[in-house]
Structure 1
Amino acid sequence: MTSTAAPHVLHVTGARPNFPKAAPVIRALDGLGVRQVLVHTGQHYDPVMSEVFFQQLGLPEPDVNLGVGSGSHGAQTAAVMVALEEMFVADRPSLVIVYGDVNSTVAAALVAAKLQIPLAHVEAGLRSFDRTMPEEVNRVVTDALADLLFTTSPDANVHLGTEGVAADKIHFVGNPMIDTLLANLDTFDPVAVTADLGLEGDYVVATLHRPGNVDDPEQAAKIVRAVHEVADTVRVVIPLHPRGRESFARAGLMDHENVTVIEPLGYVEFIGLVRGSRAVVTDSGGVQEETTMLGVPCLTLRPNTERPVTITHGTNRLVTSDGLAGAVQEALALPRTDTPAVTPPLWDGAAGQRIAAVVADVVGA
């Protein structure tokens, strides 16, 4: 994909969760002959958090990599806004598409709105109703500015309607991240991943990085104690996000012999690891969705979730650190399964095509 002065759709991606959502949309638009430009803001810049996704998901190389890197929320958002404003003024897109709820998402939304460029938000309408989460602020602001709002679950439509979003702006299309999971299902090999890591027997995967869990030393220590309690009975494998490494290390996470801390994995390897696990402990939104489709028990270490469909139609439940060990034991007692008992509506592998059809109609392709 190359930049062009002709009418075109511009995708803004910036962090690991964006890439599996964008891949099926880009692929479907390409099939419809829509001109596209792909921007990677560089919010996530580690190879396994960024480059490997382009390789494994068949994403085209970004036309532009802004390389903004890490920083505070304000510094990171501002850097993306400055760079995108220059781009949009120099080569005005017909439509900007943003994904999820990261800082790059809200930065692009603000720039597009101020320049009066139409904006589409993929994964609109999700709400935890917890404004202490930066992602919730990003979601609310982006949805307020968007012209096209693509939702992944019926509850998201309800939230948007309650907030006064016009019904003709809202399109319930399903979940494009599930498109990516289903398209790659045959490549998720637990045996290969566990062999590479030297793992034998049952294990639980944990992914923890939310500010509410890692920034406060007291809370981080409480979580480490809970993880150690789980590790007393089953191995815990933790692909440790850079954001939480120092905090958890200070709290002694690695001091338990049954806790295996590894570097973040590529998409295929990580989902393979999850697929072979007996349960997953997480504070990530996307992992709640992926475990739902894989039939793996998911214990979300948060007081809320913006993805309640993973509870009503999936394997997810909310837990506290005090109740974590007991919840893991309950999960270990369940029989293994490779499929969900109930599939959330429209999580069928065709969300990207539905999004592309609406976008193509709007931009006149």
Structure 2
Amino acid sequence: SLVYNLVFIPWFGFVVVPIMFAALIASLLFPMLATVLWYLLDIFLVPLSWSVRYAIGTWQPISAEWTFVIAVVSAVLVSRHVMPRYVWMFVCVIVVMTGLFPKQYNQTWRIDVLDVGHGLAVLVEKEGRVLLYDTGKAWQNGSIAEQVITPVLHRRGYSSVDTMILSHADNDHAGGRKVIEQYFSPKHKLSSQSFLHYQPCIAAEKWKWQGLNMEVLWPPKPVVRAYNPHSCVISLEDPSTGFKMLFTGDIEAISEWILLREPEKLRSDVMLVPHHGSKSSSNPKFINVVEPSLAIASTAKLNQWGMPAPEVVQAYTDSGVSWLDTGSDGQITILLDGNNWRFESKRRETIEPWYRQMLRNRVE
């Protein structure tokens, strides 16, 4: 950060900001000149855009606990002149010691369906380890892995991912693969596509992860290029409570019909809605066999594909299933504690600033 600040604060102060203000004024008086200035501004922002791509490697993950410790100690040191010396020293020692104690994990664990727009990224966090199902999309100068997944993991104090599963190779599901591999070094990697150093994600594969039963239900064999119908379908079960969740990727109707051959493996408390709620998936028979209490769709608000399709949402609600989608509800979290589980959505639990509400409601 020291190098970035030394270079880019003067760069912004003496180059970018003056050109930006000149372009704004010129837009009102001299439109042709404004066009040239905006073009120059784009050029002068290139070094910043280029450098930000490599900044992720210099970030140091700090947990929420240590963030609190640093904040309290800083506040005490700033105000140390107005309190006795032994008081502020005692407070600093106590607060720092709380950060040194290893985190004690209880029976509570969580599943987060992240708000990644059109795509999918799900974090399963249990007893200090993380499983990641899909990585969201990537584009020319960035990715969901950099902008969403990495900050979440760093905020929670994680510098590595235990297991990464790629449902299939489409960009909106596997676009952040290389970022996660580079910066979080997953110990175990699975995919229905034949990636180098990946285990094949094929039906009947079973393993234990942090006391949870994991089983692959689909596809029947790995492929050279995994498309929607080849998505890796995973059943997650907590044997101590019986809680089950179905991860479906982007499977379509034909895959759903074949999966119906083993209905007992499909029944789940929570399911990810296949293919973001597209009309090509979620046939009523499949929904009735899974029999979930909650269905979660990972979507973008007002997306160009019209997902989730209204008839798909209706099919779930007609079956008595509670419906949530990230496009409307934001990040959706399932919290599991003992024999109980509950869900929270980011936009229901927090009050957004007025300007975000306006943008979400398309008020300009």
Does TM-score exceed 0.5, indicating one fold? Answer: no
Q: Which has the larger radius of gyration?
A: 2
- Which one has more relative contact order, counting CA pairs under 8 Å at least 6 apart? 1
Greater strand share, structure number:
2
TM-score normalised to structure 2 length: 0.31
